[in-house]
Amino acid sequence: MSREKLPYEDDTVSTPKESGKKPAAKKTPTPKKTAAKASAAKTASAGKKTRSTAGKGRGRPSSSDLLGLLVLGLTASLAACAGGGLFGGGTTDTGKTDTATTPTGQVTIRFLDVGQGDAVLIRSPEGKTMLYDGGRSADRMREHMDTYGITKVDLMVASHGDADHVAGLVAAAEAKPTLFINNGIAPTTQTWKRLVDGLEAAGTKFQKANNQVINLGSVKVRVIDPPAGMGKDQNENSIGIRLDFGNFHALMTGDSEKPETQAWLEEDRPEIKGPFQLYKSVHHGAANGDHAAWLASVRPENVVIGVGPNNYGHPTKTALDLYKQNGIRIYRTDQNGTVTFAGNSDGTYTLTADR
């Protein structure tokens, strides 16, 4: 897929990976008994290094004063762009900062019952819609879209190119997604070709995963790109996403297996650090998916396994025992049907299931 700039006009922020560390501000002495003392106090409260000098008896700023003001203005502008906190800040295309106030309403996250596969439907309080994978059946996806009244998809993410994750996205392409993100490794299947053709016909913009931060209304979507050196295996190049809605957090990492999750741990990725109220089981509960070190970082309260009748033994006893040992509540789409979480910004949530 060709890579383009993030296409959202109003709801998107794209930021590079950051360490989250801010340079320490250096203290500088301020002159005593000068008119510039008040100005220095103001700039000190902003945490910026500035120098101020007084004019010599004429009340006019010297050339060094003007230069200092120019440097201060540029520093403040750069600071506003850099943001702060664990993941950094940013400014949306509307000019509003993405840090701001506590969001209201609820984020709804539905783990759709699509048989053996994954499909997660996310809707922000403002009605913005995201689809993370689509299962293996276009017909079942159409049924779900009709059930939940989905006529527009704002963001579509394919965790990777396997059919049990992307076949249903062919039907969802009819909802004309604004943006499609994938891992950049295109399968050579007819299913993938139909998906690409459908998205191109819908005018969807394509982008490779690159640690984007996307504002889905008041829900922040952090894209977790695959670690370097994973080769070309689809599972080990799964795209993860972290959802943040105030103090409610969710994590999904496709079919990532131990080599990928271990590499994320070694990279010390902040996006994978819990606790999370909601977590999607790695690779449908496969034995080579979740492991103790990974769960110690993620620290989920609830795990949902997207699974149906299969010949792989999913979910495995190994995975189920691991969840139980860590005190994680388990939900399965083969037993519970579609599982829905409605999250509040204070971190509380309600859960409903079809059965």
Domain coordinates in residue numbering, the chain:
37-82, 106-353
Region 261-285 average pLDDT: 96
Q: How confident is the model at residue 344 (pLDDT cuts 50, 70, 90)?
A: very high
Region 40-45 average pLDDT: 36
Distance in angstroms between the alpha carbons of the first and the last residue of the chain: 40
Q: Token pair 């950094």 is at which residue?
A: 88
The distance of Cα 310 from the centroid of its chain, to the nearest Å, equals 30
Q: How confident is the model at residue 35 (pLDDT cuts 50, 70, 90)?
A: very low
Q: Does 300 sit behind a cis peptide bond, omega within 30 degrees of 0 on the bond before it? A: no
Question: Identity (one letter) of the amino acid at 49?
Answer: K
Q: Point out the least confidently predicted range of 50-54, 150-154, 223-227, 254-258.
A: 50-54
What's the mean per-residue pLDDT of the chain? 80
Instruction: Give the global pTM.
Output: 0.74
Cα separations (Å) of 100 from 17, 25, 148? 21, 24, 30
- The count of residues in the chain is 355
DSSP designation for 272: G
Which pLDDT score is estimated for 101?
77
Backbone angles phi, psi at 182, to 5 degrees: -140, 180
Report the greatest alpha carbon distance in the chain: 88
Which pLDDT score is estimated for 221?
98
Residue 220 has pLDDT above 90, yes or no: yes
> CA 353 to CA 260: how far, in whole Å?
31
Q: Point out the least confidently predicted range of 23-32, 160-169, 182-191, 284-293.
A: 23-32
Our CA angle for 252, 186, 222, nearest 5°, is 30
Cα separations (Å) of 157 from 178, 229, 317? 11, 22, 29
Region 113-130 average pLDDT: 97
Which pLDDT score is estimated for 100?
54
CATH (residue range 106-353): 3.60.15.10
Q: How confident is the model at residue 201 (pLDDT cuts 50, 70, 90)?
A: very high
Region 140-152 average pLDDT: 97
Of 92, 109, 106, the residue nearest 246 (C-alpha): 106
Higher-confidence position of 108 and 64: 108
> CA 347 to CA 247: how far, in whole Å?
5
Cα separations (Å) of 242 from 20, 30, 132, 228, 253? 17, 45, 11, 19, 9
Beta bridge partner(s), residue 328: none
Tokens encoding 153:
């998809």
Question: Identity (one letter) of the amino acid at 111?
Answer: F
Region 48-52 average pLDDT: 34
321-334 pLDDT tens trace: 999 999 999 999 99
